[in-house]
Amino acid sequence: MGDRTLEATLDYVKSRMDILDCVNRYTRGMDRLDRESALSAFHEDAQLEYGVFVGSPSEFFDYFSDLHRHHHKSTNHMICNHVCELDGDTAHAETYFAVANNNVGDPPFSLAGGRYVDRFERRDGRWAIATRVCVGEWDATPGNDLAETLIAKFREVIHISRDREDVSYQRPLQVAPERLGTNVAV
């Protein structure tokens, strides 16, 4: 193996690990309500689309940490399938997740899941999310009004399909400009 091939292979492996570490820091940060950890996954100017929320990483953390504090005693985000396409200093990733919640009210527990569709950028040697579209796809908890509201909003504003029209195929991934500043109270 030549030096260039070895260097390219090492960069690929390191980039993939850095990107997956970034996704894991985000989920840990949200479960611990650790602002620094959660925000370390994003570039400061990133744009996030979460159905009921569109905005910056810091606005996102404030919005969802308040929601989690109000509705959940604890949360447990689990990362599942993760695919990543690297192209120089840009990467597109799709990461499946499940989240188990220990709720404040009824139902006492809930389980839901979906996908994080991310565009990563490497800036000054640091991989972080530049754009995220969160796709809430399912909730396994009968009578979970909060989850039903969130998933209905995802389906209303994000194109979800089982073909190449799905948001996960959008290149480059971006938040629809008309969605910016359209947060909905839950």
Q: What is the mean pLDDT of residues 85-101?
A: 97
Query: Domain 3-179 belongs to what topology?
Result: Nuclear Transport Factor 2; Chain: A, (3.10.450)
Write out pLDDT tens, residues 7-66.
Answer: 999 999 999 999 999 999 999 999 999 999 999 999 999 999 998 889 999 999 999 999
Per-residue confidence (pLDDT) for residue 183, from 0 to 100 = 62
Q: What is the mean pLDDT of residues 125-154?
A: 84
Could you tell me if residue 125 is left (phi over 0), alpha (psi between -120 and 50 degrees) or otherwise beta?
A: left
**pLDDT at residue 185 is higher than 60:** no
Distance, CA of 98 to CA of 136 (rounded, Å): 10
| Predicted confidence band of residue 148 (pLDDT cuts 50, 70, 90) | confident
Per-residue confidence (pLDDT) for residue 147, from 0 to 100 = 67
Distance, CA of 73 to CA of 153 (rounded, Å): 24
Integer Rg of the chain from CA:
17
**pLDDT at residue 111 is higher than 60:** yes
Per-residue confidence (pLDDT) for residue 161, from 0 to 100 = 87
Write out pLDDT tens, residues 154-181.
Answer: 777 788 889 999 999 999 999 988 887 6
**pLDDT at residue 184 is higher than 70:** no
Pair 99, 83: CB distance under 8 Å: no
Strands 109-123 and 126-139: antiparallel
More confident: 183 or 174: 174
Per-residue confidence (pLDDT) for residue 53, from 0 to 100 = 87
